[in-house]
Structure 1
Protein backbone atom coordinates (compact mmCIF):
# COMPACT_ATOMS: atom_id res chain seq x y z
CA UNK A 1 0.00 0.00 0.00
CA UNK A 2 1.46 3.37 -0.97
CA UNK A 3 1.61 5.99 1.78
CA UNK A 4 -0.79 8.44 0.09
CA UNK A 5 -3.28 5.73 -0.84
CA UNK A 6 -3.11 4.31 2.67
CA UNK A 7 -3.64 7.73 4.28
CA UNK A 8 -6.61 8.41 2.00
CA UNK A 9 -8.12 5.03 2.88
CA UNK A 10 -7.66 5.59 6.61
CA UNK A 11 -9.28 9.01 6.29
CA UNK A 12 -12.16 7.51 4.30
CA UNK A 13 -12.67 4.73 6.82
CA UNK A 14 -12.70 7.23 9.68
CA UNK A 15 -15.36 9.23 7.83
CA UNK A 16 -17.34 6.03 7.44
CA UNK A 17 -16.88 5.31 11.15
CA UNK A 18 -18.15 8.79 12.01
CA UNK A 19 -21.15 8.33 9.73
CA UNK A 20 -22.01 5.00 11.32
CA UNK A 21 -21.79 6.41 14.84
CA UNK A 22 -23.84 9.51 13.98
CA UNK A 23 -26.45 7.51 12.05
CA UNK A 24 -26.69 5.00 14.90
CA UNK A 25 -27.47 7.82 17.35
CA UNK A 26 -29.95 9.47 15.00
CA UNK A 27 -31.72 6.17 14.35
CA UNK A 28 -31.92 5.45 18.10
CA UNK A 29 -33.27 8.97 18.71
CA UNK A 30 -36.05 8.25 16.23
CA UNK A 31 -36.60 4.78 17.76
CA UNK A 32 -37.09 6.38 21.16
CA UNK A 33 -39.29 9.27 20.00
CA UNK A 34 -41.42 7.95 17.14
CA UNK A 35 -45.17 8.21 17.71
CA UNK A 36 -48.36 7.88 15.76
CA UNK A 37 -50.32 5.11 14.15
CA UNK A 38 -47.18 3.44 12.73
CA UNK A 39 -45.43 3.56 16.09
CA UNK A 40 -44.92 -0.16 16.64
CA UNK A 41 -43.64 -0.97 13.14
CA UNK A 42 -41.31 2.02 12.99
CA UNK A 43 -40.14 1.61 16.58
CA UNK A 44 -39.08 -1.96 15.79
CA UNK A 45 -37.63 -1.11 12.35
CA UNK A 46 -35.54 1.75 13.71
CA UNK A 47 -34.21 -0.46 16.49
CA UNK A 48 -33.33 -3.22 14.01
CA UNK A 49 -31.57 -0.77 11.71
CA UNK A 50 -29.70 0.90 14.58
CA UNK A 51 -28.41 -2.49 15.71
CA UNK A 52 -27.18 -3.31 12.22
CA UNK A 53 -25.44 0.07 11.91
CA UNK A 54 -23.80 -0.27 15.32
CA UNK A 55 -22.70 -3.79 14.45
CA UNK A 56 -20.35 -2.33 11.84
CA UNK A 57 -18.72 0.26 14.10
CA UNK A 58 -16.14 -2.03 15.66
CA UNK A 59 -15.40 -3.71 12.33
CA UNK A 60 -14.63 -0.36 10.72
CA UNK A 61 -12.49 0.85 13.63
CA UNK A 62 -10.55 -2.42 13.75
CA UNK A 63 -9.98 -2.23 10.00
CA UNK A 64 -8.40 1.21 10.49
CA UNK A 65 -6.13 -0.21 13.19
CA UNK A 66 -5.20 -3.26 11.09
CA UNK A 67 -3.85 -0.98 8.38
CA UNK A 68 -1.87 0.92 11.02
CA UNK A 69 -4.14 3.94 11.28
CA UNK A 70 -5.62 5.79 14.24
CA UNK A 71 -9.38 5.86 14.79
CA UNK A 72 -11.70 8.60 15.95
CA UNK A 73 -11.33 9.45 19.62
CA UNK A 74 -14.23 11.63 20.70
CA UNK A 75 -17.67 13.06 19.98
CA UNK A 76 -15.88 16.09 18.52
CA UNK A 77 -13.88 13.95 16.11
CA UNK A 78 -17.08 12.22 15.02
CA UNK A 79 -18.81 15.54 14.36
CA UNK A 80 -15.84 16.80 12.34
CA UNK A 81 -15.93 13.77 10.01
CA UNK A 82 -19.60 12.83 9.63
CA UNK A 83 -21.84 13.64 6.68
CA UNK A 84 -24.96 12.76 8.72
CA UNK A 85 -26.97 15.88 9.53
CA UNK A 86 -27.43 16.46 13.24
CA UNK A 87 -31.00 16.07 14.50
CA UNK A 88 -31.97 17.05 18.02
CA UNK A 89 -35.74 17.15 17.65
CA UNK A 90 -37.89 14.77 19.62
CA UNK A 91 -41.10 15.97 17.92
CA UNK A 92 -40.66 15.10 14.25
CA UNK A 93 -43.51 13.44 12.42
CA UNK A 94 -42.87 9.75 11.83
CA UNK A 95 -42.59 10.08 8.04
CA UNK A 96 -40.11 12.95 8.44
CA UNK A 97 -37.99 10.56 10.48
CA UNK A 98 -38.27 7.90 7.79
CA UNK A 99 -37.36 10.44 5.11
CA UNK A 100 -34.28 11.67 6.97
CA UNK A 101 -33.04 8.16 7.63
CA UNK A 102 -33.64 7.19 4.00
CA UNK A 103 -31.58 10.16 2.84
CA UNK A 104 -28.81 9.50 5.37
CA UNK A 105 -28.59 5.84 4.37
CA UNK A 106 -28.54 6.78 0.67
CA UNK A 107 -25.66 9.17 1.39
CA UNK A 108 -23.89 6.37 3.25
CA UNK A 109 -24.17 4.16 0.15
CA UNK A 110 -22.37 6.87 -1.85
CA UNK A 111 -19.69 7.19 0.83
CA UNK A 112 -19.21 3.43 0.93
CA UNK A 113 -18.65 3.37 -2.82
CA UNK A 114 -16.10 6.17 -2.48
CA UNK A 115 -14.24 4.28 0.25
CA UNK A 116 -14.36 1.12 -1.88
CA UNK A 117 -12.55 3.04 -4.62
CA UNK A 118 -9.95 4.13 -2.05
CA UNK A 119 -9.50 0.52 -0.91
CA UNK A 120 -9.00 -0.59 -4.51
CA UNK A 121 -6.44 2.16 -5.12
CA UNK A 122 -4.61 1.12 -1.95
CA UNK A 123 -4.73 -2.55 -2.97
CA UNK A 124 -6.55 -3.44 0.25
CA UNK A 125 -8.64 -6.47 -0.73
CA UNK A 126 -9.82 -7.13 2.83
CA UNK A 127 -11.36 -3.68 3.21
CA UNK A 128 -12.74 -3.90 -0.32
CA UNK A 129 -14.58 -7.12 0.56
CA UNK A 130 -15.99 -5.80 3.83
CA UNK A 131 -17.35 -2.73 2.10
CA UNK A 132 -19.44 -4.90 -0.21
CA UNK A 133 -21.32 -6.27 2.82
CA UNK A 134 -21.74 -2.82 4.39
CA UNK A 135 -22.99 -1.41 1.09
CA UNK A 136 -25.57 -4.18 0.76
CA UNK A 137 -26.81 -3.43 4.28
CA UNK A 138 -27.08 0.33 3.64
CA UNK A 139 -28.84 -0.28 0.31
CA UNK A 140 -31.35 -2.54 2.04
CA UNK A 141 -32.02 0.04 4.77
CA UNK A 142 -32.53 2.69 2.07
CA UNK A 143 -34.90 0.39 0.17
CA UNK A 144 -36.99 -0.41 3.27
CA UNK A 145 -37.27 3.26 4.23
CA UNK A 146 -38.06 4.31 0.64
CA UNK A 147 -40.77 1.65 0.45
CA UNK A 148 -42.46 3.04 3.56
CA UNK A 149 -42.62 6.46 1.92
CA UNK A 150 -44.21 4.96 -1.19
Structure 2
Protein backbone atom coordinates (compact mmCIF):
# COMPACT_ATOMS: atom_id res chain seq x y z
CA UNK A 1 0.00 0.00 0.00
CA UNK A 2 2.68 2.49 0.97
CA UNK A 3 4.58 4.10 -1.81
CA UNK A 4 7.47 6.47 -1.93
CA UNK A 5 6.04 9.69 -3.27
CA UNK A 6 7.85 12.78 -4.47
CA UNK A 7 7.93 15.75 -2.13
CA UNK A 8 4.49 17.12 -1.34
CA UNK A 9 3.39 20.11 -3.38
CA UNK A 10 4.02 23.52 -1.90
CA UNK A 11 1.22 24.90 0.24
CA UNK A 12 -0.26 28.21 -0.84
CA UNK A 13 -1.04 30.45 2.12
CA UNK A 14 -4.01 32.69 1.36
CA UNK A 15 -4.61 34.28 4.79
CA UNK A 16 -1.54 34.89 6.95
CA UNK A 17 -2.95 36.50 10.08
CA UNK A 18 -6.08 34.60 11.00
CA UNK A 19 -7.45 35.38 14.44
CA UNK A 20 -8.88 31.91 15.07
CA UNK A 21 -6.58 30.90 17.92
CA UNK A 22 -4.42 28.44 15.97
CA UNK A 23 -0.85 29.49 15.27
CA UNK A 24 0.36 29.77 11.68
CA UNK A 25 2.85 26.96 12.32
CA UNK A 26 0.08 24.63 13.55
CA UNK A 27 -2.26 25.65 10.74
CA UNK A 28 0.43 24.80 8.19
CA UNK A 29 1.06 21.38 9.75
CA UNK A 30 -2.66 20.65 9.94
CA UNK A 31 -3.13 21.69 6.32
CA UNK A 32 -0.31 19.34 5.26
CA UNK A 33 -2.20 16.49 6.94
CA UNK A 34 -5.59 17.55 5.58
CA UNK A 35 -4.11 17.77 2.08
CA UNK A 36 -2.95 14.16 2.41
CA UNK A 37 -6.42 13.18 3.65
CA UNK A 38 -8.02 14.97 0.70
CA UNK A 39 -5.70 13.22 -1.76
CA UNK A 40 -6.30 9.81 -0.16
CA UNK A 41 -10.05 10.37 -0.16
CA UNK A 42 -10.13 11.47 -3.79
CA UNK A 43 -7.93 8.56 -4.87
CA UNK A 44 -10.18 6.10 -3.02
CA UNK A 45 -13.22 7.78 -4.60
CA UNK A 46 -11.77 7.28 -8.08
CA UNK A 47 -10.87 3.64 -7.42
CA UNK A 48 -14.29 2.90 -5.92
CA UNK A 49 -16.06 4.52 -8.88
CA UNK A 50 -13.84 2.55 -11.27
CA UNK A 51 -14.81 -0.68 -9.51
CA UNK A 52 -18.50 0.29 -9.62
CA UNK A 53 -18.27 0.61 -13.41
CA UNK A 54 -16.22 -2.53 -13.96
CA UNK A 55 -17.37 -5.13 -11.43
CA UNK A 56 -18.59 -8.44 -12.89
CA UNK A 57 -19.57 -11.84 -11.58
CA UNK A 58 -22.16 -13.41 -9.32
CA UNK A 59 -22.04 -10.53 -6.80
CA UNK A 60 -22.44 -7.89 -9.52
CA UNK A 61 -25.65 -6.26 -8.31
CA UNK A 62 -24.68 -6.26 -4.63
CA UNK A 63 -21.21 -4.84 -5.29
CA UNK A 64 -22.38 -2.40 -7.96
CA UNK A 65 -24.83 -0.88 -5.47
CA UNK A 66 -22.43 -1.01 -2.53
CA UNK A 67 -19.65 0.63 -4.52
CA UNK A 68 -22.07 3.34 -5.69
CA UNK A 69 -23.06 4.08 -2.10
CA UNK A 70 -19.42 4.25 -1.09
CA UNK A 71 -18.23 6.43 -3.97
CA UNK A 72 -21.13 8.85 -3.38
CA UNK A 73 -20.11 9.12 0.28
CA UNK A 74 -16.49 9.73 -0.72
CA UNK A 75 -17.52 12.35 -3.27
CA UNK A 76 -19.47 14.18 -0.58
CA UNK A 77 -16.45 13.98 1.76
CA UNK A 78 -13.91 15.80 -0.41
CA UNK A 79 -15.67 19.17 -0.25
CA UNK A 80 -15.70 19.51 3.56
CA UNK A 81 -12.03 18.50 3.72
CA UNK A 82 -11.07 21.07 1.06
CA UNK A 83 -13.22 23.73 2.72
CA UNK A 84 -11.52 23.10 6.06
CA UNK A 85 -8.16 23.67 4.36
CA UNK A 86 -9.53 26.96 3.01
CA UNK A 87 -10.88 27.96 6.44
CA UNK A 88 -7.37 27.47 7.83
CA UNK A 89 -6.04 30.01 5.33
CA UNK A 90 -4.59 27.85 2.55
CA UNK A 91 -5.51 26.84 -0.99
CA UNK A 92 -6.71 23.26 -1.27
CA UNK A 93 -4.84 20.96 -3.66
CA UNK A 94 -7.04 19.98 -6.57
CA UNK A 95 -5.07 18.42 -9.38
CA UNK A 96 -4.25 14.82 -10.22
CA UNK A 97 -0.57 15.75 -10.05
CA UNK A 98 -0.90 17.15 -6.53
CA UNK A 99 -3.04 14.24 -5.38
CA UNK A 100 -0.51 11.80 -6.86
CA UNK A 101 2.25 13.42 -4.79
CA UNK A 102 0.19 13.52 -1.60
CA UNK A 103 -1.62 10.19 -1.50
CA UNK A 104 -0.30 6.97 -0.05
CA UNK A 105 -2.89 4.94 -1.97
CA UNK A 106 -2.05 3.26 -5.27
CA UNK A 107 -3.80 4.46 -8.41
CA UNK A 108 -6.80 2.48 -9.65
CA UNK A 109 -5.70 -0.52 -11.69
CA UNK A 110 -5.82 -0.13 -15.46
CA UNK A 111 -7.24 -3.65 -15.84
CA UNK A 112 -10.30 -4.42 -13.68
CA UNK A 113 -9.44 -7.05 -11.06
CA UNK A 114 -11.76 -9.86 -10.02
CA UNK A 115 -14.61 -8.82 -7.71
CA UNK A 116 -12.97 -10.26 -4.58
CA UNK A 117 -9.74 -8.44 -5.39
CA UNK A 118 -11.73 -5.21 -5.78
CA UNK A 119 -13.15 -5.76 -2.31
CA UNK A 120 -9.68 -6.42 -0.86
CA UNK A 121 -8.30 -3.28 -2.52
CA UNK A 122 -11.12 -1.19 -1.09
CA UNK A 123 -10.59 -2.67 2.38
CA UNK A 124 -6.93 -1.61 2.20
CA UNK A 125 -7.90 1.80 0.82
CA UNK A 126 -10.46 2.51 3.54
CA UNK A 127 -8.04 1.37 6.24
CA UNK A 128 -5.33 3.62 4.79
CA UNK A 129 -7.60 6.68 4.73
CA UNK A 130 -8.64 6.00 8.34
CA UNK A 131 -4.95 5.76 9.25
CA UNK A 132 -4.19 9.08 7.52
CA UNK A 133 -6.91 10.77 9.57
CA UNK A 134 -5.70 9.09 12.78
CA UNK A 135 -2.09 10.19 12.19
CA UNK A 136 -3.19 13.83 12.07
CA UNK A 137 -5.46 13.68 15.13
CA UNK A 138 -2.84 14.25 17.90
CA UNK A 139 -1.58 17.46 16.27
CA UNK A 140 -5.11 18.74 15.69
CA UNK A 141 -6.13 18.02 19.28
CA UNK A 142 -2.96 19.66 20.65
CA UNK A 143 -3.67 22.77 18.53
CA UNK A 144 -7.24 22.95 19.89
CA UNK A 145 -8.70 22.68 16.38
CA UNK A 146 -12.10 21.22 17.27
CA UNK A 147 -13.68 21.54 13.79
CA UNK A 148 -10.84 19.51 12.27
CA UNK A 149 -11.00 17.03 15.17
CA UNK A 150 -14.71 16.51 14.41
CA UNK A 151 -14.00 16.09 10.70
CA UNK A 152 -11.25 13.53 11.35
CA UNK A 153 -13.38 11.58 13.82
CA UNK A 154 -16.22 11.35 11.31
CA UNK A 155 -13.88 10.23 8.52
CA UNK A 156 -12.27 7.55 10.71
CA UNK A 157 -15.69 6.20 11.69
CA UNK A 158 -16.92 6.04 8.09
CA UNK A 159 -13.75 4.42 6.71
CA UNK A 160 -13.49 1.88 9.51
CA UNK A 161 -17.15 0.89 9.01
CA UNK A 162 -16.69 0.67 5.25
CA UNK A 163 -13.63 -1.56 5.70
CA UNK A 164 -15.55 -3.78 8.13
CA UNK A 165 -18.49 -4.15 5.73
CA UNK A 166 -16.18 -5.00 2.85
CA UNK A 167 -14.22 -7.50 4.97
CA UNK A 168 -17.53 -9.09 5.97
CA UNK A 169 -18.32 -9.74 2.32
CA UNK A 170 -15.09 -11.74 2.16
CA UNK A 171 -15.98 -13.68 5.31
CA UNK A 172 -13.04 -12.14 7.18
Could you tell me the TM-score, scaled by structure 2's length?
A: 0.84
> How many residue pairs were aligned?
150
The 8 Å contact of residues 51 and 112 in structure 2, kept in 1 or not, is answered as no
> What pairs with 1:1-150 in structure 2 (closer than 5 Å)?
1-150=22-171
Structure 1 residue 133, shift from structure 2 partner: 1.2
In the alignment, the residues of structure 1 paired with residue 28 and residue 111 of structure 2 have an alpha-carbon distance, to the nearest angstrom, of 38
Which consecutive aligned stretches of 4+ in structure 1 deviate over 2 angstroms post-superposition?
Answer: 87-91
The 8 Å contact of residues 46 and 108 in structure 2, kept in 1 or not, is answered as no
From the CA coordinates, give the structure whose radius of gyration is larger.
2
In the alignment, the residues of structure 1 paired with residue 65 and residue 129 of structure 2 have an alpha-carbon distance, to the nearest angstrom, of 21
Which protein has the bigger helix share? 1
Structure 1 residue 44, shift from structure 2 partner: 0.4
Unmatched runs of 5 consecutive residues or more in structure 2: 1-21
Structure 1 residue 76, shift from structure 2 partner: 0.3
In the alignment, the residues of structure 2 paired with residue 2 and residue 16 of structure 1 have an alpha-carbon distance, to the nearest angstrom, of 21
Q: Deviations over 1:65-123 (max 9, x none)?
A: 00111210311001110111112333310000000000110111111111222211222
The 8 Å contact of residues 33 and 90 in structure 1, kept in 2 or not, is answered as no
Unmatched runs of 5 consecutive residues or more in structure 1: none
In the alignment, the residues of structure 2 paired with residue 120 and residue 110 of structure 1 have an alpha-carbon distance, to the nearest angstrom, of 16
